[in-house]
Structure 1
Amino acid sequence: MIVGIDLGTTHSLVGMYGDEGPVLFPNALGDYLTPSVVSVDDDGHVIVGQAARDRMVSHPGASVATFKRWMGTPRETRLGTRNFRPEELSALILRSLIADAEAATGQKVTEAVISVPAYFSDAQRKATRAAGELAGIRVERLINEPTAAALAYGLQEKHDGARFLVFDLGGGTFDVSVLEMFDGVVEVHASAGDNFLGGEDFLDVLETAFCAEQQLAVDDLSPQERGQLRRRLELAKRELGAGSEARVEWKRGEQVFDWRIDEERFARLSENLVQRMRTPLERAMRDARLQPTQLDEIVLVGGASRMPLVARLVSRMFGRLPLRHVNPDQAIALGACVAAGLKARDTRLDEVILTDVCPYTLGTKVSRWDENGKEQQGFFAPIIHRNSTVPVSREQVFQPVRDHQTKLTLEVYQGENPMVERNIKLGELDIPLPPKRSVADNAMNVRFTYDINGVLQVEAVLIATQQRYELVLEQNPGVLAPAEIRARLQALENIKIHPRNKQENVAIMARAERLYEEYVVARTQLQQWIAHFRAILESQDDQLIREHRRQFGEAMDALEASV
């Protein structure tokens, strides 16, 4: 079975294309959204999802979130007795989603289409594929999140020549794509974005403002206190998405803080973030060579797009109201399900060809000469420009710097800066040159070929001798090599993970521990409830456990409502 997965920064979802179209699967708690959070308990068991999110408050040192932002880097996080790379943490989320899909369908999941931000680099895309491999599934297709959102809205069914812009603001990333539909092809004209801009950054704005007004230093807060505060502020951010004002009540020790903020002030505080959103929007429109009036539709997706300031920004820039009738939290996952159906050649779907673009410019390092004839080194020479439709192949002629040069090192870079030192080096190719030749005699054709799977082939041919040299860049610095993937897959197999049928019990105990951390006045009552539920668990009577779990949950609902 092939599934569609939205592997998000803050939440993830899974589904498939079924008889009634795209359908999402609930997790063990009955929710479609699974928090992208991983935690390890005192016994070394891995906890994923809502229970892990609650443990971010009660056990911040044993829990981690927003690790999608670290994909493509070698960063490691210590949880329990071992270190986890971002790919491994993502694999644990994927495993949980796969278990939910298999529980819902009774079929084994073997393959997935996973959505990624349109502005994900080559290294980040390879890391996402590695996460799928570590989770035990095949990931032959990654789909850009804005393209997935377009499929969710059925924009592929629009008239030929229809152009639309998808604005995707999630928990941790922001990207925008301009797409066009013609002859059964959904073509991406341009993509732009910011991999470090999302709902979490707007939460940072609220945290900074709260602490400044309450004369608190963020660094002075313990991890538990900061977790409690950010949870209150997250609720306030959601209130501001639905109303004009929000109130934050938070207790630290014996001190009670009461803070109010309205939507207008929140928008002013967030002005720098709003300006950061404008830049990718303008870049995508420039690269697509379109004016706002030439767009047929504008679509908002991603949970953070619910903020009124987002709709205002889009309305001002494009002179119209955007579409938001598909649940913004689910749009990308639903589109990934459609893409999974297309990948499986589901006969209920009309054939749609999805094109992609190269998100970053690819080129090499060159020297240039100033007006005085002095050599200036370290310049970036683009060969494949960003937003070129893939697969793409481009060729340029280069020469050595000096006569009688015996070797040339062709360095490959990715980025948008004119100087290579500010771009990302992907690799290099050493080319021996015939000695005692002039610069012109040692000229060479350099061809870059970038395919839909993110593989870059670099080919250099000496024009005089037709001698050919080749470099295939399938790996990037910070990306796991195949041998290391196999070793880490074996290590993950040995990790103890709570069975899916026990996750409801784990989640409710994690919630109780979080409330114990947050509400000092209710600690005695919570301890009694926890002790009672532990005794019920020891009975191993499933019916009794279900009934007391329901009562426990209702009691905690009432507690939170009253406090």
Structure 2
Amino acid sequence: MIVGIDLGTTHSLIGCYGESGPRLFTNALGEFLTPSVVSIDADGHALVGQAARDRLVSHPHASVASFKRWMGTARETRLGERTFRPEELSALVLRSLLADAEAATGEKVTEAVISVPAYFSDAQRKATQAAGALAGIRVERLINEPTAAALAYGLQERPDGSRFLVFDLGGGTFDVSVLEMFDGVVEVHASAGDNFLGGEDFLDLLEKAFLADRGLRAQDLDATARGTLRQRLETAKRSLAGQPVAEVRVTLGDTTQEWSIDEARFAQLAEPLVQRMRAPLERAMRDARLQPSQLSEIVLVGGASRMPLVARMVSRMFGRLPLRHVNPDQAIGLGACVAAGLKARDRRLDEVVLTDVCPYSLGTAVARRDAQGRIQGGFFEPLIHRNTVVPVSREQEFLPISEGQKHLRLDVYQGESPLVEKNIKLGELEVAIDPSRTIQENAVAVRFTYDVNGVLQVEAQVRSSGQRYELVLEQNPGLLDAAQIRQRLQALQDIKIHPRSKQENLAVLSRAERLYEEYLHARAQVQAWIAQFRAVLETQDEMLIREHRLELGRALDALETI
């Protein structure tokens, strides 16, 4: 079976394309959204989802979230007795999602289409594919999140010439893409974005404002108190989408703090972030060579797009209200399901060709001679310009700088600056040349090939000898090579994820532990509830466990409303 997955910064979803169209699967708690959070318990078992999210407060040093932002880097996070790379944390989330899919269908999942931010780099895309391999599935297709959202809105069913602008503001990333439907082809004209702008950044603003208003400093809070505060502020941020004022009441240490913020002040605090969103929007429209009046629809997706200040900004820029009739949290997941159906050539789907673009310019470092004949290095020479339709292959010839050179080094970069020092280095390739030959005889033909999954291949051929070289981007310190993936896969298999059948019980216990941390006045009562529920679990009587779980859930609900 092939599934579609939205592997998000804050939440993830999984589904497939079925008889009635795209279908999302619920997790063990009956929710479509699974928090992208991982926690390791005292026994070394992994918890994923809501239980792990609650443990961010009660066990902050054994829990982690927002690791999607670290994809493509070598960053490691210590949880319990071992450290985890971002790919491994993502793989644990994927394993939990796959268990939900297999529980819903009774079929084994073998392949997945995973959505990624359009502005994800080559390293980040490879890391996403590695996460799939670590989770035990093939990921032969990555689909850009705005393209997935367009499929969820049925762009492929619109008349020829329909143009969509998809505005995708998730928990950790921001993307914008301009797409057009023409003759059975969904073509991306332009993509832009910011991999470090999302709902978490708006939450940071609220945290800073709260601390400033209450005369507190971030260093005054321990990890548990900060986790509690951010959870309350997240609730306030969500409530501002539907009401003018949000109230926050939180116990920090020995004192209970009360704070309120209205939507107008929140919008004022967020103005710098709003300005950061405008730049990618303007770039995408400029690269697509379109005026706002030429767009058929503007679509908002991503949970953070619910904020009223986002809709206002988009409406002002484009002179119309955006579409939001598909649940913004689910749009990308539903679109990934459609993409999975297309990948599987589902007979219920008309043949649709998806094209995409390269989100960054890709090129190499070169040296140039100035007017005085002096050699100056460090210049960027793009072979593939941003927003070129993919797959694409471009070739260019380069010469050594001087006679007698033994090697020509190709440093591969992505970015838009004319100077390589301001771009991102992806890797390097050293080509051996004959020092006895002339500069012209040692010409090297360099070919960049960029495919639909955003994977870059670099080849070089020495003209005189015909010797060919290929860049192995796994040399990038932020990426795992094939051997490391096999090694880490074996290590991950030793980490057990609690059985799906236990997830509801684990979630309610984790929530109880979180409230024990937060509500000092109710600690004795919460502890008694935990002890009673653990005793019930020992009976292994499923009916009795379900009855007490529901009863405990109601008691915790009542406690949180006090």
1:481 and 2:475 matched = no
For the residues of structure 2 that align with 1:193 and 1:455, how far apart are their CA atoms? 18
Q: Is this contact kept in 2: 1:455–1:473, CA < 8 A?
A: no
By how many angstroms is 1:440 displaced? 3.9
By how many angstroms is 1:518 displaced? 0.9
Aligned identity (percent) is: 73
For the residues of structure 2 that align with 1:380 and 1:165, how far apart are their CA atoms? 30
Letter in 1 for 2:469: E
For the residues of structure 1 that align with 2:207 and 2:465, how far apart are their CA atoms? 62
Letter in 2 for 1:467: G
Q: Is this contact kept in 2: 1:457–1:470, CA < 8 A?
A: no
By how many angstroms is 1:546 displaced? 0.5
Q: CA offsets, 1:456-491, max 9 Å, x none? A: 33333444x262422144534311111111111111
Q: CA offsets, 1:220-241, max 9 Å, x none? A: 2000000010011001001111
Letter in 2 for 1:486: R
Partner of 1:90: 90
SS of equivalent to 1:513 = helix
State which drifts further: 472-481 or 429-438. Answer: 429-438
Partner of 1:422: 422
SS of equivalent to 2:287 = helix
SS of equivalent to 1:394 = strand
Q: CA RMSD in A?
A: 1.4
- Structure 2 stretches lacking a partner, 5+ long: none
SS of equivalent to 2:15 = strand
SS of equivalent to 2:146 = helix
Q: Is this contact kept in 1: 2:394–2:447, CA < 8 A?
A: yes
Letter in 2 for 1:206: L
For the residues of structure 1 that align with 2:414 and 2:251, how far apart are their CA atoms? 48
Partner of 1:371: 371
By how many angstroms is 1:439 displaced? 3.5
By how many angstroms is 1:198 displaced? 0.4
1:235 and 2:235 matched = yes
For the residues of structure 2 that align with 1:70 and 1:462, how far apart are their CA atoms? 37
Partner of 2:490: 490
Partner of 2:177: 177
For the residues of structure 2 that align with 1:550 and 1:455, how far apart are their CA atoms? 48
1:48 and 2:48 matched = yes
SS of equivalent to 2:409 = strand
Q: Is this contact kept in 1: 2:176–2:191, CA < 8 A?
A: yes
For the residues of structure 1 that align with 2:406 and 2:134, how far apart are their CA atoms? 44
By how many angstroms is 1:397 displaced? 2.8
Q: Is this contact kept in 2: 1:516–1:523, CA < 8 A?
A: yes
SS of equivalent to 2:411 = strand
For the residues of structure 2 that align with 1:86 and 1:429, how far apart are their CA atoms? 26
For the residues of structure 2 that align with 1:526 and 1:404, how far apart are their CA atoms? 78
CA 1:292–1:468 in structure 2 vs 1: closer, same or farther (change >3 Å)?
farther
By how many angstroms is 1:285 displaced? 1.1
Q: Is this contact kept in 2: 1:426–1:473, CA < 8 A?
A: no
1:469 and 2:459 matched = no
For the residues of structure 2 that align with 1:462 and 1:472, how far apart are their CA atoms? 14
By how many angstroms is 1:438 displaced? 4.3
Partner of 2:500: 500
Partner of 2:201: 201
For the residues of structure 1 that align with 2:339 and 2:329, how far apart are their CA atoms? 17
Partner of 1:244: 244
Partner of 1:443: 443
Partner of 1:330: 330
For the residues of structure 2 that align with 1:267 and 1:547, how far apart are their CA atoms? 45
By how many angstroms is 1:37 displaced? 0.4
State which drifts further: 516-525 or 89-98. Answer: 516-525
Q: Is this contact kept in 2: 1:225–1:252, CA < 8 A?
A: yes
Q: Is this contact kept in 1: 2:406–2:434, CA < 8 A?
A: yes
SS of equivalent to 1:187 = strand
For the residues of structure 2 that align with 1:429 and 1:531, how far apart are their CA atoms? 61
By how many angstroms is 1:360 displaced? 1.4
Q: Is this contact kept in 2: 1:28–1:501, CA < 8 A?
A: yes
Partner of 1:556: 556
Alignment of 1:280-295 (within 5 A): 280-295=280-295
Partner of 1:277: 277
Q: CA offsets, 1:393-440, max 9 Å, x none? A: 112232222234343222222222221122222232333334355444
For the residues of structure 2 that align with 1:102 and 1:171, how far apart are their CA atoms? 27
In the superposition, the TM-score normalised over structure 2's length comes to 0.97
For the residues of structure 1 that align with 2:136 and 2:307, how far apart are their CA atoms? 37
Q: CA offsets, 1:289-317, max 9 Å, x none? A: 11111111100000000000100111111
Aligned residues: 561
Partner of 2:512: 512
Letter in 2 for 1:251: T
Q: Is this contact kept in 1: 2:427–2:473, CA < 8 A?
A: no
For the residues of structure 1 that align with 2:65 and 2:328, how far apart are their CA atoms? 21
For the residues of structure 2 that align with 1:417 and 1:225, how far apart are their CA atoms? 42
Partner of 1:121: 121
Letter in 2 for 1:403: E
For the residues of structure 2 that align with 1:206 and 1:163, how far apart are their CA atoms? 36
Partner of 2:402: 402
By how many angstroms is 1:357 displaced? 1.4
1:157 and 2:157 matched = yes
Q: CA offsets, 1:344-395, max 9 Å, x none? A: 1110011111112112111111112233332211111111111111111112
Letter in 1 for 2:35: P
Partner of 2:259: 259
CA 1:45–1:415 in structure 2 vs 1: closer, same or farther (change >3 Å)?
same
Partner of 2:541: 541
Partner of 2:190: 190
Q: Is this contact kept in 1: 2:126–2:455, CA < 8 A?
A: no
State which drifts further: 264-273 or 394-403. Answer: 394-403
CA 1:406–1:490 in structure 2 vs 1: closer, same or farther (change >3 Å)?
closer
Partner of 2:13: 13
Q: Is this contact kept in 2: 1:459–1:468, CA < 8 A?
A: no
Alignment of 1:137-156 (within 5 A): 137-156=137-156
By how many angstroms is 1:279 displaced? 1.0
SS of equivalent to 2:125 = helix
- Structure 1 stretches lacking a partner, 5+ long: none
CA 1:525–1:457 in structure 2 vs 1: closer, same or farther (change >3 Å)?
closer
1:384 and 2:384 matched = yes
State which drifts further: 121-130 or 447-456. Answer: 447-456
